[in-house]
Amino acid sequence: MGEWLAYAAAWLALKFLGLLPRPMARAVGARLATLAYFFRPPLRRAALFNLRLAFPEWTDAQRRRTIRRLVRHMGWMAGEFSQFPKYTRENIERTVVLDAFENFAAAERRGKGVLFLTGHMGAWELAPFAHALYGHPLHFLVRPIDNARVDALVNRYRCLSGNAPIDKNQSARAVLKILHDGGTVGILADQNTSLEEGVFVDFFGIPACTTTGLARLALHTDAAVVPSYIYWDAEMRKYRLRFEPAIELVRTGDDAANVHENTARFTRVIENYARRHPDQWLWVHKRWKTRPPGEKPIYPF
């Protein structure tokens, strides 16, 4: 019964917001996100604590203002998500503009596939959707939502523009084939991971356990690693989907050192984004939760 109720709530929310004009859907999404955030004290504690770690020079008033804006951006993304059935190649430019697309095009011409280095930045669900509408569908790694019906509903919206999801737990063979065929795969590489799946690299000067999957894939396939992220441009009142030049991989002959150094390079990309747009990165996640063996937990809650 609980699974059906969650599905019904998600379906009704998407349908209701989808019936609204885009500006109103974004506004209502922002209100709903603020309400949901108010009733989730663990998220509030994590966000404030993370910002104290990342920006110790800030006042708590600055941190709370950043969190309020973050929650608003998340609500806007919910509003945008509900509008996916309305977006087409003809109208997507009203919402998302491409920035430095030539960097992706150059990487694609290499013919060895492209790995998008990205994370929970801006309206991250909108980035691959818009990319496909601009004529370049891709595959993206996802962790399935626990509720199978909600997971199917969300993925149906995600794939309306021609993209395809890959279950993160069953990804290796599928990703290798896509890259071999010259395709593109998006990987969110900015969340805490387990000791078995990650290495510790600095994030805001604090060691953070970070997935090695992206580095291992890039080193194995020689696919181009292109930083790609989306952010809200307040002056344009549109989202910019930005593509950076492909990152040159470090190859020293030591596999472990290569994985560690390239993972550190990728993580610096995420950090630079979070520094430039601190209200558009997901601070509610316990990024520094996993600690080296024997080290005390960072989070006191």
- The string of pLDDT tens digits covering residues 109-140 is 999 999 999 999 999 999 999 999 999 999 99
* 22 touches 79 (CB < 8 A): yes
User: Is 298 inside a domain boundary?
Assistant: no
User: Is 21 inside a domain boundary?
Assistant: yes
pLDDT confidence of residue 8: 84
User: Is 169 inside a domain boundary?
Assistant: yes
User: Is 89 inside a domain boundary?
Assistant: yes
138-162, pLDDT tens digit by residue? Answer: 999 988 888 999 999 999 999 999 9
Q: What is the pTM of this model?
A: 0.95
Mean pLDDT of the region 48-74: 98
User: Is 103 inside a domain boundary?
Assistant: yes
Q: Indicate the number of domains in the chain.
A: 1
In this predicted structure, the answer to whether residue 36 has a pLDDT above a threshold of 70 is yes
Mean pLDDT of the region 280-288: 98
Q: How far apart are CA 92 and CA 269, in angstroms?
A: 27
User: Is 106 inside a domain boundary?
Assistant: yes
In this predicted structure, the answer to whether residue 4 has a pLDDT above a threshold of 90 is no
Backbone φ and ψ for 100, nearest 5 degrees, come out as 60, 40
**DSSP secondary structure, 159-186, as one string:** TTTS-EEEEGGG-HHHHHHHHHTT-EEE
Q: How many CA atoms lie within 13 A of 219 on its CB side?
A: 19
254-277, pLDDT tens digit by residue? Answer: 999 999 999 999 999 999 999 999
* 239 touches 231 (CB < 8 A): yes
Quote the domain boundaries for residue 260: 2-280
